[in-house]
């Protein structure tokens, strides 16, 4: 079965964006080691999943910037956008998932192929975490506290994880890699 990974940038205080979606606090001058880490986790990926809100900015941005570093994977990898409001996709290499997120992700995981990676947005990722659908979390902790914003770990929901690895990078980001601590009973 295919593995679903999450790659997400967070502030030290646990937000993925400011209250209005601000991301100006994120470290963007990644060092070569962090770029190599991202390449390692994305190399086996042949499917990207996104929520509609993030997809509406993410997909057009990469399509308009095909020469940007990393654009190749975002433009050429199959994308599945989870939505209840869009009727069709106008984006290249993109399909829509309109059904129940648990069923849709299970169907993707059951298909032949490489790993699947989720990038967001906050509401979509929260639903994946709450339903225990993610197999690996790669949390890119940025050296910034923003006070308030959009979390991916919502109050009232409980998820347990085990640390599978951590690495600090000279650009100031620390990546924490977690796997679900699923009970065997």
Rounded to a whole number, what is the distance in angstroms from the first to the last CA of the chain? 21
Residue partners of 20: CB distance under 8 A and separation at least 6: none
- Please list the pLDDT of the chain residue by residue as tens digits (185 residues): 899 999 999 999 999 999 999 999 999 999 999 999 999 999 999 999 999 999 999 999 999 999 998 889 899 999 999 999 999 998 999 999 999 999 999 999 999 999 999 998 899 999 999 999 999 999 999 999 999 999 999 867 788 999 999 999 999 999 999 999 975 54
Sign for the CA dihedral angle at 49, 54, 60, 63 comes to negative
For 104-136, the pLDDT digits (tens) are: 999 999 999 999 999 988 999 999 999 999 999
H helix or E strand, kind and range, residue 62: helix 52-64
Kindly state the tokens that stand for 143.
Answer: 């050296």
The predicted pLDDT at position 84 comes to 94
Instruction: Give the pLDDT of residue 184.
Output: 52
**Domains, the chain, ordered by start:** 4-13+31-150 (3.40.430.10)
| Percent over 70 (pLDDT), the chain | 98
Burial of 80 (0-12, 13-18, 19+ CB in 10 A): buried
Nearest Cα residue to 152 out of 166, 139, 136, 161: 139
């Amino acid at each position: 079965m295919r593995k679903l990974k999450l790659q997400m940038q967070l502030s030290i205080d646990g937000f993925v964006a400011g209250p209005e979606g601000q991301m100006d606090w994120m470290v963007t001058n990644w060092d070569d080691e962090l770029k190599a880490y991202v390449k390692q986790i994305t190399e086996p990926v042949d499917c990207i999943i996104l929520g509609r809100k993030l997809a509406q900015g993410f997909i057009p941005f990469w399509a308009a910037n095909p020469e940007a570093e990393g654009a190749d994977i975002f433009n050429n990898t199959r994308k599945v956008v989870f939505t209840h409001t869009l009727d069709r996709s106008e984006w290249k290499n993109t399909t829509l998932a309109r059904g129940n997120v648990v069923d849709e992700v299970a169907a993707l995981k059951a298909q032949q192929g490489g790993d699947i990676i989720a990038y967001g947005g906050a509401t979509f990722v929260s639903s994946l975490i709450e339903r225990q659908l993610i197999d690996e979390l790669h949390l890119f902790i940025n050296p910034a506290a923003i006070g308030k914003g959009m979390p991916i770990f919502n109050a009232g929901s409980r998820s347990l994880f085990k640390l599978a690895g951590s690495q600090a990078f000279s650009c100031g980001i620390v990546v924490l890699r977690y796997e679900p601590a699923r009970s065997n009973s």
